[in-house]
């Protein structure tokens, strides 16, 4: 592990298949020309309220994009954190917990297995539950990331903006969200892909009663 400066935030530099190379400063990773050529970890999370049958999306403040833009429920780069005096990369599940708390004040529990997630989804308590269901390489002309995509089921509609990155939050049915995204230049591009993948997962696993035998994802 290289010597890291305590005044800088570091994120996870990796290969396109997700193999971790090491830390890279967030500032350097976002430099023009670097952001789309050096792969780094990113966590995406779509938030869904099962009783309402609606997805929650956030409006990010103008400091990040120049103008406010709508984005998925929670998300962010995976940082390096200090544990027991050592820098460690934060995995997708732990980062989903971190982002859910910081961005919208959601207390989140993670299920590591699909079967556990489906059982828990039938009896949500006061905690939201999350599951990282897909990992993939996402590259455009603007960015290069290895993504862990999660779905978050929540019993709550109230949100709390803790880190000043989010300024608004709205709930939309899948049909409303699809219509909202159509030709809307005030939406972040990843939101479209995150919605498509999550809706496919939801319709397959969360739209009916489950036979928890031979589940395949």
Sign of CA dihedral 187, 188, 192, 194: negative
Q: What is the mean pLDDT of residues 104-110?
A: 96
Q: Is the pLDDT of residue 211 over 60?
A: no
Class of domain 10-205: alpha beta
> How many C-alpha atoms does 119 have within 13 Å on its Cβ side?
9
Q: What is the pLDDT of residue 212?
A: 39
Is 201 in a helix, a strand, or coil?
helix
CB-CB contact of 112 with 104 (8 Å): no
**For residue 131, which of 93, 102, 78 has the smallest C-alpha distance?**
93
pLDDT confidence bin for 3, thresholds 50/70/90: low
Tokens at 85, concatenated: 């005096």
Encode pLDDT of 56-94 as tens digits.
Answer: 999 998 776 667 899 999 999 999 998 888 889 999 999
Q: Among 144, 176, 151, which residue's Cα sits nearest to residue 45?
A: 151
In the prediction, which pLDDT does 89 show?
96
User: Between 209 and 152, whose confidence is greater?
Assistant: 152
Give the helix ranges, DSSP H, for 162-216. Answer: 174-181, 189-205
* Cα gap 191→70, rounded to integer Å: 8
Is 178 within 8 Å of 38 (Cβ atoms)? Answer: no
Cα–Cα dist 46/138, whole Å: 16
**pLDDT at 216 exceeding the cut of 50:** no
Domain ranges of the chain: 10-205
* CA distances (Å), origin 24, targets 8, 27, 38, 105, 148: 10, 8, 10, 28, 18
What residues have CB less than 8 Å from 157, skipping those under 6 apart? 49, 52, 56, 171
Instruction: State the pLDDT at residue 163.
Output: 82
pLDDT on residue 99: 96
178, exposed or middle or buried, with CB in 10 Å at 0-12, 13-18, 19+?
A: middle
């Amino acid at each position: 592990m290289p010597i890291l400066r305590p005044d800088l935030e570091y994120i996870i530099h990796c290969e396109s298949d997700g193999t971790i190379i090491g830390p890279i400063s967030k500032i350097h990773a976002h430099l023009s020309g670097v952001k789309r050529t050096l792969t780094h970890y990113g966590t995406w999370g779509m938030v869904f309220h099962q009783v309402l049958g609606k997805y929650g999306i956030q409006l990010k403040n103008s400091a990040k994009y120049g103008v406010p833009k709508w984005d998925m429920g929670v998300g962010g780069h995976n940082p390096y954190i200090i544990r027991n005096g050592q820098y460690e990369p934060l995995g997708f599940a732990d980062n989903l917990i971190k982002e859910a708390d910081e961005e919208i004040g959601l207390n989140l529990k993670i299920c590591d297995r699909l079967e556990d997630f489906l059982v828990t989804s039938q009896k949500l308590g006061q905690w939201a539950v999350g599951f990282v269901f897909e990992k993939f390489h996402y590259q455009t002309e603007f960015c290069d990331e290895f993504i862990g995509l999660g779905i978050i089921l929540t019993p709550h509609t109230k949100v709390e903006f803790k880190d000043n990155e989010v300024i608004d939050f709205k709930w939309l049915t899948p049909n409303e969200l699809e219509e909202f995204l159509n030709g809307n230049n005030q939406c972040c591009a990843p939101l479209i892909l995150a919605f498509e993948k999550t809706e496919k997962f939801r319709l397959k696993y969360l739209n009916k009663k489950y036979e928890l035998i031979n589940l395949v994802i």
